[in-house]
Chains A and B, each alone.
Chain A
Amino acid sequence: MDAYILSLTIFVAINVALALSLNLISGFCGQISLGHAAFYGTGAYVSAILSVSGVPFAVSFVAGGIAAGILGFLVGLASLRVREDFLAITTMGVNFLFVGFVRKQGWLGGEIGITAIPKPMSDAGMATLAWILVAATAFLLVAIRRSWLGTGFTMIAQDEQAATSLGLNVGRFKLAAFVMGTAAAGMAGVIYAHVAQLIVPDAFGFVVSISILAMVVVGGIGSIFGVILGAVLLTLLPELARFANDYKLLIFGALMVAVMLISPGGLAGAFQRLRAR
């Protein structure tokens, strides 16, 4: 396979994994997060530091996921204190804080970031790993949707107080959503760091969080198939049409506005309405 196509498939996979993991937190459990890139970045930075200092990739991979999950647990704790608008702003703040902190840390490479991250396997191997992560995340989401865990998430998303009064341990369920979603984002970050072999703070900034959110809402927040479609489309669009690359943010932004105005359920919602007709 062409090297360009191969690296493209890896980035598509990374974005699909990111979008699915955000969908778990924001779509399934209803906790709007505007800072998903902070967890993606945590996985990338932790694994990069470890790999550069000679730790085997398998260990870096797991450590990146765990580190992101721990940060996710802490932000999840915040979601027990603050709700809705306040939570959205808090998660946005976490993202700015992450970038603002990393940028000033000499041991994390500061503005220049971490370079010469060793590549653990061929591009084909990395692509396979990335798609395994996608498959595992998608499988987890399908399993959640069918289980009582998914029922609990839906209850929280639709009416937290009603869920509590029926005996749902809302706090633990929210934490579960945050930990699982952020750990998966961390693993996507590990793959990104080891494919790009170079990471800088801005690769995990607020704009990245918004791009991930755009994939989720364009695909259809809460829908598994829709979100996969949204992530694939929005990743490929700027690549397929050269002109679109220049207008990437314009297109992402306009799509977010248009989808909210026309079909807040995204592509999945639109399909559903067509089928219902």
Chain B
Amino acid sequence: MDLLKTTSLSRSFGGVAAVRNVTLAVKDRELLSVIGPNGAGKTTLLKLITGQIPPDTGRIELFGRDVTAVPQYARAQMGIALTHQIVRPFRGMTLGENVTAAMGHGHFNQPVASLFHRPGAADTARARELLDLVGIGHAAGRSASEVPLGYLKRMQIARVLATDPKLLLLDEPLAGLNYSEAGQIADLIVRLNEGGRTVVLIEHNLGEVLRISHRVAVLDNGALLAEGLPAEVIARPDVRAAYLGKEAG
């Protein structure tokens, strides 16, 4: 079954097409990477999928249901989660509180009912487990406004895991991490995927992408240039031209 499917999705900003006519399907339990040069439209594609911005034309289906008109929060409640490329911690909270806050996802649709439920020790403990899972459990008590970027990148993964999503959308989770940190997070992504979560990964770290992805899709100038097995896609001359040519220039 396709967990996520976009059909002829397009979106432009001020006359410039950021995403054009993208038809892409993601299967249940798949680990798909979307790659492409800077400005290829990868982040816009993710924003369209999460519902942060509406498409000009096209359709988005999640779990077999048309969600093109469903607002962002409601899509998140259906079980898709996004980690932001530019980190968005709750800066007035500690890392632990950031993750604990997301543990309330079952109450996020009903403000009145949510008044009668409160975060408990179980939520804090689970948040701590998730921070341990991403390797920063020791920093749970540190303020999100004073830890290094790598910590915030990891915290964001722990925070979305707290909402127990079926589909993880990761926007450059390895950017800004050093070599060994990137490897650890890539391994974590594989473990999460093997644990039953579908993953769509946007990433510039081609080494890790080729190592962990089941399938790769290449965006160029907003359009889907190629998709397939990692080794096959990256060997195609048009992909090399588009991707490497722009990277070099």
Contact = CB atoms under 8 A, between A and B. Distances in A.
Contacts, number: 96
Given A149-B111, A159-B88, A165 B72 contact: yes
Interface residues of A, number: 26
B141 to A, nearest CB: 14
B13 interface: no
B114 A149 contact: yes
Given A158-B91, A159-B88, A173-B111, A164 B102 contact: no
A245 interface: no
Contacts of B84: 162, 165
Interface in B67-112: 72-74, 76-77, 81-82, 84, 88-93, 100-102, 104-105, 107-112
Given A144-B115, A152-B114, A159 B108 contact: no
Nearest to B169: A165
Interface residues of B, number: 36
A125 interface: no
B90 A162 contact: yes
A106 interface: no
A172 B111 contact: yes
Q: Is the interface of A mostly helix, strand, loop or mixed?
A: helix
Contact of A166 (B74, B76, B118): B76
Contacts of B88: 159, 161-162, 165
Given A155-B101, A164-B76, A148 B163 contact: no
Interface of B: 50, 52, 72-74, 76-77, 81-82, 84, 88-93, 100-102, 104-105, 107-112, 114-119, 159-160, 163
Interface of A: 143-144, 146-149, 151-152, 154-155, 157-159, 161-162, 164-170, 172-173, 175-176
